């Protein structure tokens, strides 16, 4: 039975929650505050943007530019950026520039100092993964001419250039781009946790596959973001290999998303999702074959993956709208919110890839994935709770049916008290409902008390028919045999006490008296279990309002007076007061007609 929380418990709960929120806010402030007064010094990570004073030379001629910039040009066009190095260089200075899938050659005073190009290694593909090229400078390079030659392969994008002491440039790059990588790392960890959770849930409960497919999608997206990250040179010893797993991971996204959406929507749109999954798998195989045979690199075929991805987004949105119209969405209404957030963010991610030349991959889709994961977990838990409740309801119905069958058997055996067990159960439930607020009874508690009331005389199965159906008053010996029914019944039902808690107490002790003069154990007052005190009143009320072989039923006024008279003796006085109040309010009234069971 549920218990109310004390005021102290509520105060402690509120305090702990408030302290946690305050702790989180202080932690966030500590991460992002720029007020460093009095803090321990961490040294300088000074980076100078080398963006002005550049001359861009194309086949069209020369013009001044400020970086970053982009120009219209064709494949294999040569772009040259020219500038003079500052006069204040020292031997620890580094020049940092980003190559956006193009061949980059860096010349100082006409001599090639550094390059990142297809011919740099026999293992390099034609379309190089974007990378930062770091050129070490010396004091002797001060004031010399700097020339950066770019062989265009995709677009004429020229990113910002930095001058910095040592490798300080990486600090600024990391500081600028670590948020998306942190988010990707969180998505990766959450994906692994969700994968383990889904496998365990699948093993234990046979839960939906949707969390499993979502976990794979999260892991795949995280790998894709790391492979496309501007920090990948710090993550991987062989960042050039990212040209393989970057494209493979992005091509799997639409397949995993379709598998996930299919499960979430209970396979209602299975055919169209199967088409997407099959098309994505075939397209991936073809792209790999084309790449391995040298016909077309993965970069050139990525467009087809994006088309399938866009088609998957449109199909899922249409299916979602159809489910809203048909109200099928109610079956997954929580996760539908996460789906919508993910679809919007994935669409923005795909659009930004083509619209912005300086776009940082991963932010939007990660936000969408986190929203999708949270909604999926909530939906999974709600589904499990609903299934658990359904199982409990089925079990309760089975128990109720069993109880009713047994009660019918008891009443059929006792020809003078037909329907007695059912009526006691009803009276007990009404009394329990009247006590609910003061005693913190839940609906489940009330239903359980009803079952116990129905079962209270189960022990009469072990009483001889000659005693049970005797047409007169019982002898002392016969009465002793009759009293045994509480012990017989409690022993008979002892194994069901876990299924129906307090069943044993209700059966064994419903003939105990508040003054200690009852049987079988002579308990008194609150030593008597509460459920037994409830059944005692309900049982006595039915006995007084039903005809017996040796007397007619008592009038309602006589019944009321008898309950008041026996309050504190036979009955719990508090419960007796509640019972009388329920009688006066008309909530408890005889379920017999002139003392005879209703047909």
CA distance 599 to 593: 9
What average pLDDT does range 572-589 have in this prediction?
94
The residue that leads in pLDDT, 251 or 261, is 261
HEC string of 321-340?
Answer: HHHHHHCHHHHHHHHHHHHH
Give the pLDDT confidence of 535-568 residue by residue, as tens digits: 999 999 998 998 876 678 899 999 999 999 999 9
Cβ atoms of 95 and 163 closer than 8 Å: yes
Peptide bond into 265 cis (omega under 30): no
**Extended beta strands in 110-201, E state:** 111-116, 131-136, 145-151, 156-158, 161-165
pLDDT digit string (tens) for 118-129?
888 777 888 888
Q: How many residues does the chain have?
A: 599
**Helix or strand run (H / E) with residue 410:** helix 363-413
Name the burial class of residue 106, with classes exposed (0-12), middle (13-18) and buried (19+) by CB atoms within 10 angstroms of its CB.
Answer: buried
pTM here is 0.64
33: exposed, middle or buried (Cβ count in 10 Å: 0-12, 13-18, 19+):
exposed
- Give the pLDDT score at 550: 67
* Average confidence (pLDDT) over 11-20: 85
Residue 416 confidence (pLDDT): 54
Tokens coding 454: 């129905």
In degrees, rounded to 5, the angle at the alpha carbon of residue 109 between the alpha carbons of residues 103 and 115 is 20
Segment 386-395 mean pLDDT: 81
Q: Read off the pLDDT of residues 401-420 as tens digits, 9 standing for 90 and up.
A: 777 777 667 666 665 556 88
- Find the range with the poorest average confidence among 41-55, 196-210, 408-422, 435-449: 408-422
From residue 145, alpha-carbon distances to 86, 111, 140, 411 in Å are 10, 10, 12, 109
**573's torsion region: left (phi>0), alpha (psi -120 to 50) or beta?**
alpha
Report the alpha-carbon distance of residue 575 to residue 592 in Å, rounded: 23
For residue 318, which of 342, 303, 340 has the smallest C-alpha distance?
A: 340
Rg value, the chain, Cα: 40
For residue 2, the model assigns a pLDDT of 47
User: Looking at residues 299-316, what average pLDDT do you find?
Assistant: 87
* CA 71, 77, 83, 89 torsion-angle sign: positive
Please, what sign has the CA dihedral across residues 218, 223, 228, 230? positive
Q: What is the pLDDT of residues 189-210, one digit of tens each?
A: 999 998 998 888 778 776 678 8
Stronger pLDDT, 333 or 353, i.e. the higher one:
333
Residues 48/162, Cβ–Cβ less than 8 Å:
yes
pLDDT for the residue numbered 497: 67
The residue among 407 and 534 whose pLDDT is bigger is 534
Cis peptide before 520 (omega within 30 of 0): yes
Q: Would you state the pLDDT for residue 171?
A: 85
Give counts: helices (H), strands (E), the chain. 18, 14
Torsions phi, psi for 313 (to 5 deg): -60, -45
Mean pLDDT, the chain, as a whole number?
86
Residues 173-184: what's their mean pLDDT?
Answer: 85
> What is the pLDDT, as a whole number, of residue 248?
85
- The bridge status of strand 111-116 relative to strand 103-108 is antiparallel
pLDDT bin (cut points 50, 70, 90) of residue 358 is low
pLDDT-based confidence at 495, cuts 50/70/90?
confident
């Amino acid at each position: 039975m549920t218990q109310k929380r004390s005021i102290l418990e509520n105060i402690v709960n509120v305090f702990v929650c408030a302290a946690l929120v305050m702790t989180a806010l202080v932690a966030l402030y500590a991460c992002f505050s720029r007020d460093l007064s009095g803090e321990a010094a961490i040294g300088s990570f000074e980076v100078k943007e080398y963006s002005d004073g550049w001359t861009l030379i194309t086949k069209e001629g020369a013009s001044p530019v400020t970086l970053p910039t982009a120009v219209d040009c064709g494949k294999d066009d040569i772009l040259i950026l020219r500038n003079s190095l500052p006069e204040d260089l020292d031997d620890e200075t580094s020049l940092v520039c980003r190559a956006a899938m193009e061949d980059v050659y860096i010349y100082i005073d006409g001599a090639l100092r550094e390059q990142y190009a297809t011919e740099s290694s026999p293992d390099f593909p034609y379309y190089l993964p974007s990378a930062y090229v770091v050129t070490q400078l010396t004091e002797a390079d001060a004031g010399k001419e700097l020339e950066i030659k770019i062989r265009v392969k995709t677009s004429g994008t020229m990113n910002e250039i930095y001058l910095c002491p040592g490798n300080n440039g990486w600090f600024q790059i990391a500081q600028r781009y670590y948020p998306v990588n942190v988010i990707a790392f969180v998505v990766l960890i959450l994906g692994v946790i969700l994968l383990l959770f889904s496998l365990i849930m699948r093993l234990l409960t046979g839960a939906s596959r949707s969390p499993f497919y979502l976990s794979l999608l999260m892991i795949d997206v995280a790998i894709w973001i790391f492979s496309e990250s501007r920090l990948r040179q710090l993550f991987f010893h062989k960042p050039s290999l990212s040209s393989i797993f970057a494209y493979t991971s992005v091509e799997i996204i639409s397949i995993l998303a379709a598998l996930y959406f299919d499960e979430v929507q209970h396979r209602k749109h299975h055919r169209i999702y199967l088409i997407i999954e099959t098309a994505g798998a075939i397209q991936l195989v073809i792209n790999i074959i084309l790449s391995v045979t040298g016909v077309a690199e993965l970069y050139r075929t990525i467009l087809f993956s994006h088309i399938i991805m866009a088609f998957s987004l449109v199909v899922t949105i249409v299916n979602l709208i159809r489910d809203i119209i048909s109200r099928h969405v109610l079956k997954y209404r929580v996760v539908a919110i996460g789906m919508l957030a993910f679809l919007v963010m994935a669409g923005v991610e795909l659009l930004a890839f083509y619209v912005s030349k300086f776009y940082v991959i991963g932010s939007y889709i990660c936000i969408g994935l986190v929203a999708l994961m949270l909604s999926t977990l909530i939906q999974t838990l709600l589904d499990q709770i609903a299934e658990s409740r359904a199982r409990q309801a089925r079990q309760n119905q089975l128990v109720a049916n069993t109880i009713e069958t047994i009660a019918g058997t008891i009443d059929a055996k006792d020809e003078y008290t037909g329907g007695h067990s059912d009526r006691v159960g009803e009276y007990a439930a009404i009394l329990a409902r009247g006590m609910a607020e003061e005693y913190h009874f839940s609906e489940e508690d009330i239903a359980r008390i009803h079952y116990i009331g129905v079962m209270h005389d189960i022990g009469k199965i072990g009483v001889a028919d000659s005693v049970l159906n005797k047409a007169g008053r019982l002898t002392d010996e016969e009465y002793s045999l009759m009293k045994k029914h509480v012990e017989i019944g409690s022993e008979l039902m002892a194994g069901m006490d876990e299924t129906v808690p307090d069943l044993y107490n209700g059966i064994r002790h419903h003939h105990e008296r508040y003054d200690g003069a009852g049987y079988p154990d002579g308990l008194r007052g609150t030593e008597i279990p509460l459920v037994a005190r409830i059944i005692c009143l309900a049982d006595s009320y039915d006995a007084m309002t039903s005809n017996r072989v040796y007397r007619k039923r008592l009038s309602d006024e006589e019944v009321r007076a008898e309950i008041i008279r026996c309050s504190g003796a036979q009955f719990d006085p508090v419960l007796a007061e509640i019972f009388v109040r329920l009688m006066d309010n008309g909530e408890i009234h005889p379920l017999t007609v002139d003392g005879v069971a209703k047909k």
